[in-house]
Chain A
Amino acid sequence: MSKYLLNKFLFTVDRDPLLVERYREDPAELVAWWESTMANDLLNCHSGENTTWLAFTDEERDALIARDQVRLFEFGAHPFLTLTLFIAVFERDNTEPLEYQKAYGASLAHVTRPYPDIAT
Chain B
Amino acid sequence: MASIVAVIASTHHPFYYRASTATGDDRPPFADEWVRKITAFRETLTRANPDVLVMVGSDHFHQLWLDNMPQFLVGKAPFYDANWYNEEREFGLPKMRLQGQEDLSAHILRAGLDSGFDLAFSNELRIDHSVTCPIITLRPEADLPIVPIYTNIFAPPLPQPSRFVKLGESIRTIIEQWPSHLRVAVIGTGHLSLELGGPRQFGPQGPDPEFDQRAVQWIANGDLDGCLREVTLDSLHEPGNATHGFMDFMLMMGVAGAGVKADYVDTLDLFHTMEAYFTWYPSGAPA
Answer yes or no: B61 CB below 8 A from chain A CBs. Answer: yes
- Check A105/B198 contact, CB under 8 A, given A43-B67, A118-B156, A120-B66: yes
| Contact partner, A108, options B65, B156, B198, B271, Cβ 8 Å | B198
A-to-B contact residues, CB < 8 Å: 4, 7-8, 11, 14-15, 17, 42-44, 69, 73, 78-84, 87-88, 91, 98, 101-102, 104-106, 108-111, 113-115, 118-120
Closest-by-CB residue of B relative to A107 is B199
- Provide the residues of chain B in CB contact with A105, threshold 8 Å: 195, 198-203
Q: Which residue of B lies closest to A98 (CB)?
A: B202
Interface pair A44/B65, CB less than 8 Å apart? yes
The residues of A that contact B201 with a CB separation of less than 8 Å are 83, 101, 104-105
Contact of A80 among B61, B89, B202 (CB under 8 A): B61
Contacts of B85 on A, CB cut-off 8 Å? 15, 17
Q: A81 and B68: CB pair below 8 A?
A: no
CA distance A119 to B234 in the complex (A): 13
Residues of B within 8 A of A (CB): 60-62, 65-68, 84-86, 89-90, 154-157, 195-203, 237-238, 241-242, 271
Q: Beyond the given A7-B66, A106-B199, A115-B198, could you list 19 further A-B residue pairs with CB under 8 A, ordered by the A residue number?
A: A11-B61, A11-B65, A15-B62, A15-B84, A17-B89, A42-B67, A78-B61, A79-B241, A80-B61, A80-B154, A83-B197, A87-B90, A105-B202, A108-B198, A109-B199, A111-B199, A113-B237, A120-B66, A120-B156
- A42–B67 CA distance with the chains assembled, in angstroms: 8
Would you list 18 pairs from A and B whose C-beta atoms are within 8 A, ordered by A residue?
A8-B66, A11-B61, A14-B86, A15-B84, A44-B67, A80-B61, A80-B242, A88-B89, A98-B271, A101-B201, A102-B202, A111-B198, A111-B199, A114-B237, A115-B237, A118-B156, A119-B156, A120-B156
Contacts of B60 in A (CB 8 A): 80
A120 CA to B67 CA, complexed, in Å = 10
Point out the residues of chain B lying under 8 angstroms from A91, CB to CB.
Answer: 90
Q: Least Cβ distance of A82 to chain B in Å?
A: 5
